């Protein structure tokens, strides 16, 4: 298999080709991690200090960009927002209860992040606050090193909210929302490693969005809307940070564990949408969301060079490039056959293939002059596009209570050859139920629950030291609780 290694030229690390691979016994267990075509000049002296101008750092560094993934949200630093890739299924309990079949239905402040044209259904002023806990109790990783572990971050939560108001004497409704836009990340503690140690593999990456926008009603049939997403993203990871292995003879490749913290930054994107009502019973809607190129800069990284006598070195500038929240386009229709029932369906295209192609991790400014001063490595992600189908229904049980149901399907976008257990957001089906109850003319409580059934994958990722035929299982249970006021 084709791989790369680090070579240092004038204090800067560059990539040169090499080949590496696992040698296995008949039972498939790793017996030696080997590197072919190593240069004779790659050696260590008797004090374990690196004397070659070539640094064989690639095996520990491969796919680190992909590993630096997980969630940062309003409440919890170890959050998973998943359903359609790293995107949430629904925003708000109405959207979630209908499993994301919401383009033609959106009518609360979450419309800012769904289809801003739906803001025009707000009569005067609206406020919504949403708490979204989730449970991942049966999500786990298994591999040939004897690991069979569930995730450490079993339970967490995110929060969002919004305010919108119709401008006096106008057909415009303006608002602003705060949303946990997307993310992924899992924590696995005390994994047996290929290097004979027990260590942690964890990652969190996520995006939190401030989103002002407006809806404009043009006559009785057509509404248009637009919103601007101002997104802050963060990433952190631990990739076997307490493990450091080096063979002075050069017979086996070294591994130096790493921890990355605090990489983050601001970026922006836009959303436009429409809702068209040819008559009171039918609504046709569509929305487009541009991509968000995430800025993950200004972090620091600690690399464990203890095996070569350099201790733990802090790189004071760590950044991750190439990660993007995908552009999306969708069209939907809603139909009200009678006053009690509302039916909705839609299809969305999510452009993961151009958003998650590859990622590049760059480290510089170490606090030790005897290690590479600049490191850079690109890793493949190669996600697939998703075509997401959603269908939902709402039933008016009483004048103050509504029930909701929905189903969402979107093919898992992550290929087996690049799957990372710290980023295994592989859900492809979601079943949802929900309800809302008006306590008064002004106050409403809504909730939904959606279940994402087990998805099992067997994979061999040549860029991670997890062996052949590793196993990953995803299962998720997510709820939303929303308090709303209209006045």
Which tops the pLDDT comparison, 152 or 61?
152
Is pLDDT of 485 > 80?
Answer: yes
pLDDT value for 3: 35
Query: What is the arithmetic mean of pLDDT over 196-215?
Result: 93
Give 114: exposed, middle or buried? Use CB within 10 Å, 0-12, 13-18, 19+.
buried
CATH superfamily entry for domain 64-486: Outer membrane protein transport protein (OMPP1/FadL/TodX) (2.40.160.60)
Q: How far is it, in rounded angstroms, from Cα 406 to Cα 151?
A: 28
| Cα dihedral sign, 143-147-148-154 | negative
Per-residue pLDDT reduced to its tens digit, 160-201: 999 999 999 899 999 999 998 877 788 899 999 999 999 999
pLDDT value for 31: 26
Most confident option among 233-242, 400-409, 424-433, 467-476: 400-409
Q: What's the chain look like in SS3?
A: CEEEEEEEECCEEEEEEEEEEEEECCCCCEEEEEEECCCCCCCECCCCCECCCEECCHHHHCCHHHHCCCCCCCCCCCCCECEEECECCCCCHHHHHCCCCCCCCCCCHHHHHCCHHHHHHCCCEEEEEEEEEEECCCCEEECCCCCEEECCCCEEEEEEEEEEEECCCCCEEEEEEEEEEEEECCEEEEEECCCCCEEEEEEEEEEEEEEEEEEEEECCCEEEEEEEEEEEEEEEEEEEEEEEECCCCCCCCCEEEEEEEEEEEEEEEEEEEEEEEEECCEEEEEEEECCEECCEEEEEEEEECHHHCCCEEEEEEEEEECCEECCEEEEEEEEEEECCEEEEEEEEEECHHHHCCEEEEEEEEECCCCCCCEEEEEEECCCCCEEEEEEEEEEEEECCEEEEEEEEECCCCCCHHHCCHHHCCCCCEEEEEEEEEECCCCEEEEEEEEEEEEEEEEECCCCCCCCCCEEEEEEEEEEEEEEEEEC
Task: Enumerate the domain spans of the chain.
Answer: 64-486
Closest CA to 184 of 431, 426, 386, 410: 426
pLDDT value for 82: 62
> Residue 289 to residues 88, 183, 263, 314, 318: CA-CA distances in angstroms?
14, 17, 25, 38, 29
pLDDT value for 422: 86
Q: How far is it, in rounded angstroms, from Cα 432 to Cα 450?
A: 4
Closest CA to 253 of 481, 88, 447, 30: 30
Q: How far is it, in rounded angstroms, from Cα 155 to Cα 52?
A: 47
Per-residue pLDDT reduced to its tens digit, 336-368: 999 999 999 999 999 999 999 998 889 999 999
User: What is the end-to-end Cα distance of the chain in Å, rounded?
Assistant: 64
Q: How far is it, in rounded angstroms, from Cα 111 to Cα 273?
A: 10
Closest CA to 423 of 151, 157, 89: 151
Which tops the pLDDT comparison, 109 or 55?
109
Q: How far is it, in rounded angstroms, from Cα 20 to Cα 205?
A: 29
**C-beta neighbour count of 36 within 10 angstroms:** 9
pLDDT value for 253: 82
In the chain, what percentage of residues exceed pLDDT 70? Answer: 83
pLDDT value for 13: 38
Closest CA to 317 of 377, 277, 361, 354: 361
Query: What is the arithmetic mean of pLDDT over 267-277?
Result: 97
Question: What is the distance of C-alpha 27 from the center of its chain?
Answer: 35
Confidence of residue 45 (pLDDT cuts 50, 70, 90): very low
Q: Which residues have a Cβ under 8 Å from the Cβ of 425 and sit 6 or more positions away?
A: 80, 82, 85, 86, 184, 414, 474
Closest CA to 342 of 90, 94, 88: 94
């Amino acid at each position: 298999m084709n791989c790369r290694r680090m070579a240092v030229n004038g204090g800067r690390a560059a990539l040169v080709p090499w080949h590496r691979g696992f040698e296995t016994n008949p039972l498939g267990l790793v017996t030696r991690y080997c590197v072919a075509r190593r240069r004779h000049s790659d050696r260590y002296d008797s004090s374990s200090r690196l004397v070659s101008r070539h640094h064989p750092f690639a095996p520990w560094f491969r796919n680190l960009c992909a590993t630096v993934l997980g969630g940062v949200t309003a409440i919890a630093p170890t959050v998973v927002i998943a359903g359609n890739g790293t995107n949430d299924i629904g925003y708000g309990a109405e959207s979630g209860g209908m499993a994301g079949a919401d383009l033609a239905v959106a009518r609360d402040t979450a419309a800012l992040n769904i289809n801003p044209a739906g803001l025009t259904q707000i009569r005067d002023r609206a406020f919504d606050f949403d708490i979204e806990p989730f449970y991942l109790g049966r999500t786990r990783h298994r591999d040939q090193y004897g690991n069979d572990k569930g995730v450490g971050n079993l339970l967490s939560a995110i929060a969002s909210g919004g305010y919108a108001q119709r401008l006096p004497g106008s057909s415009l409704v303006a608002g602003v929302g705060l949303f946990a836009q997307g993310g992924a990340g899992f924590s696995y503690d005390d994994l047996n490693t290929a290097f004979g140690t027990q260590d942690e593999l964890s990652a969190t990456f996520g995006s939190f969005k401030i989103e002002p926008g407006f809806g404009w009603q043009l006559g009785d049939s057509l509404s248009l809307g637009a919103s601007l997403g101002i997104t802050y993203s963060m990433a952190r990871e631990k990739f076997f940070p307490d493990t450091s292995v080096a063979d002075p003879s050069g017979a086996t490749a070294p591994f130096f564990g790493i921890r990355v913290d605090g990489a983050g930054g601001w970026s922006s994107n836009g959303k436009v949408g429409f809702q068209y009502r040819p008559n009171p019973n039918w609504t046709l809607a569509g929305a487009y969301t541009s991509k968000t190129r995430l800025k993950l800069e200004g972090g620091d990284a600690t690399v464990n060079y203890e095996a070569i006598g350099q201790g733990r070195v802090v790189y004071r500038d760590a950044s991750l490039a190439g990660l993007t929240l995908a552009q999306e386009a969708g069209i939907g229709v809603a139909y009200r056959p009678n006053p009690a029932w509302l039916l909705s369906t839609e299809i969305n295209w999510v452009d993961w293939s151009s958003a998650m192609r590859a990622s590049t991790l760059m480290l510089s400014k170490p606090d030790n002059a005897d290690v590479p001063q600049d490191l850079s490595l690109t890793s493949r992600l190669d996600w697939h596009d998703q075509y997401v189908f959603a269908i939902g229904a709402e039933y008016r049980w009483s004048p103050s209570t509504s029930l909701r149901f929905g189903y969402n399907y979107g093919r898992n976008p992550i290929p087996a050859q690049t799957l990372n257990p710290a980023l295994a957001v592989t859900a492809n089906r979601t079943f949802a139920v929900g309800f809302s109850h008006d306590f008064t003319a002004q106050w409403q409580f809504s909730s939904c629950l959606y279940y994402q059934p087990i998805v099992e994958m067997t994979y061999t990722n040549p860029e991670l030291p997890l062996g052949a035929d590793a196993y990953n299982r995803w299962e998720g249970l997510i709820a939303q609780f929303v308090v709303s006021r209209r006045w």
